[in-house]
Amino acid sequence: MPAPPGKESISAPTVATDITREELPYRLRQQSLLGEFGRSAMQTRDIGQILQRATELCAQGLQTPFAKVLEYMPDDKRLLVRAGIGWASGTIGQVSLGVDLESPAGFAFQTGQMVISNHLHEETRFRTPKLLSDHGIRRAINVLIARGGEGHLPFGVLEVDSPEPGQFDVADADFLAGFAGLLGIAIERQHADADLREALDHQAMLTREMSHRVKNSLASVVGLLRVQSRSAQSEEVRNALKDAASRITTIAQVHDHLWRSTKIGFVDIADFAGELCRKLQETVSHKVSCNVGHLMISADKAIPLGLLINEIVTNSAKHAYPDGSGEIGVTGERRGPDLHVEVSDRGIGFPKDFDIDQPRASLGFKVIKSLLAQLDGRIAVASNTPKGVTVQLDIPLESDAA
């Protein structure tokens, strides 16, 4: 098993810095590249892109044409080339190396120690992997890419290779270890994101299942109310039970749309209002038309809004056409921060002394007032030409309605 982070050792004698380079600009360049990688790694969740960028910047920082990230594959017990620069076509994602202690990368993975090999062709501690010999690699550095959390296997190894003679030193290995540390953080973040997505998907599944069950339960209640309404002796009681069944049906329809929705907790008001109007059409002798624009709104808005539409359409059906049948229209669209809904008919209109702001004893009107208060909405009525009434509703929308 790898040594705990912070207890690495160098598996090669300390070597002198390559005298052909200017030391200060070289080290400053490495620090600059490390900072650049830290910033770029925080700007993307694409782990493949992060790994690839790390190999490119490590190669730049150590002035070599070759670098790679080796990911440990537990099922195969091998180190797979996951990302890299300089390698022949078909290497990345295809070639893997042994994880045994006789391999430089395997030694780094097994022990957690940084490995510096400046003379691979003369190396007695390790064998030279075929991938390196095929590309003429003469020297290499390997560092462990650890993962946070107790008991987690390391992700793999970060390796830089050079076909040129020269010397990698401890400072070079530390530079590479800095990249490996940042890679470990990025990889751990990706795993945390995946765990969060899985938890959210599970919660979404439970929410949909709950909405489906609520819808089914409400449908059972509606069936019972309709049975009771048919057996009621009083016309007033029958009408009250029918109205109650209609209101519960509206709530059930919202839950039906909730469990089918692609956005948890939201329904498309166009689909919901259209279905509501079709259901109302089955219970009244008038034509009920609907033309509402697509807009995702929360269930907290959809349920009281659906009940409002239900009450107003039902009221129009009862009072607008006393001498026959007619048409009731429902329209809706977004207007700035509000959803604007209109329910209109071509019936006899309101009495001349009608004032919407005056209190009324009817249950339907009390329901409308209560629902408006719940939605923080506004209501207005207007006479149509040549006859009829339009009821206008303006409902403030949530900032994330779309």
User: Rounded CA gap, 249 and 393, in Å?
Assistant: 21
User: Which residues share a beta bridge with 85?
Assistant: 67
DSSP strand pairing (296-298 vs 115-117): unpaired
Distance (Å, whole) CA 247 – CA 265: 20
C-alpha distances out from residue 70 to 145, 155, 172, Å: 9, 8, 19
Say if CB 271 and CB 264 are below 8 A apart.
no
> Which band of pLDDT confidence, cut at 50, 70 and 90, is reported for residue 311?
confident
Q: Model confidence over 330-356: pLDDT tens digits?
A: 999 999 999 999 999 998 887 776 666
Q: How many other C-beta atoms lie within 10 A of the C-beta of residue 289?
A: 14
Rounded mean pLDDT, 149-160 = 82
**pLDDT band at 264; cut points 50, 70, 90:** confident
- β-sheet bridge partners, residue 400: none
**What's the pLDDT at 325?**
83
Contact 392, 383 (CB under 8 A): no
Distance CA 317, CA 283 (A): 10
Task: Name the DSSP class of 10.
Answer: B
Distance CA 344, CA 105 (A): 76
How confident is the model over 281-296, as pLDDT tens digits?
Answer: 887 888 999 999 999 9
Residue 6: which region, alpha, beta or left (left: phi > 0; alpha: psi -120 to 50)? left
Please give the backbone phi and psi of residue 332, each rounded to the nearest 5 degrees, phi first: -160, 145
Greatest Cα pair distance in the chain: 106
